[in-house]
Amino acid sequence: MLTINFSEFPELETKRLQLRRADVNDVNELFALRSDPNIMKYIPRPVATSHEEALEHFKMMDEKISNNEMINWAITLKDDSKMIGTIGYFRMKPEHYRAEIGYMLLPDFHGKGYVTEAIAEVVDYGFTKMGLHSIEAMIDPDNVASAKVLEKCDFVKEGHFKENEFYNGQFLDTVIYSKLNK
């Protein structure tokens, strides 16, 4: 079984981005992400209504990182430490050498290739440093932009699951993309 250890948090770097551990100083940006109905439209989670909720979410993530249950990076531009988004691995399945990748980006930074750049780096880290065999992404079938990004990053559509998640009183479809370590 895969051994996952984030006791030394890995900072990652791309041509334009710095991926670092989020901290309480990022709560305003985390709130901006999680309270934006357009960003949360494709994420079956409640929209944050207060900075306290964002802070609680941050604490939960921090605890799960400390327990090696997930890892989440703050995405920043190299010349500005202000968080513009998040990316990380959730629902890690060490027994299957598999993890789910997820990401969010503030609207001002959409369409500039930042998510594609961050995914490439995080996928490389997942395969080379964590020892993952496969990485999955679960998206809303209406999230065309995310599907395009995943395909650009060589993820393959594995399946479209009909009404397999229940959220907010309704059944939702999900589409699973994945990438194998070749």
DSSP notation for 12-33: EE-SSEEEEE--GGGHHHHHHH
Mean pLDDT of 19-33: 95
The fold of the 12-136+144-154 domain, in CATH, is Aminopeptidase (3.40.630)
Domain positions in the chain: 12-136+144-154
pLDDT in tens, 61-70: 999 999 999 9
Mean pLDDT of 148-177: 96
pLDDT at residue 108, rounded to an integer: 96
pLDDT in tens, 80-101: 999 999 999 999 999 999 999 9
pLDDT at residue 133, rounded to an integer: 98
pTM of the prediction?
Answer: 0.95
Half-sphere exposure of 140 (CA within 13 A, CB side): 15
Q: How confident is the model at residue 1 (pLDDT cuts 50, 70, 90)?
A: confident
**Alpha-helical segments (H) within 36-108:** 37-40, 51-66
What gap in Å lies between CA 102 and CA 12, rounded to an integer? 16
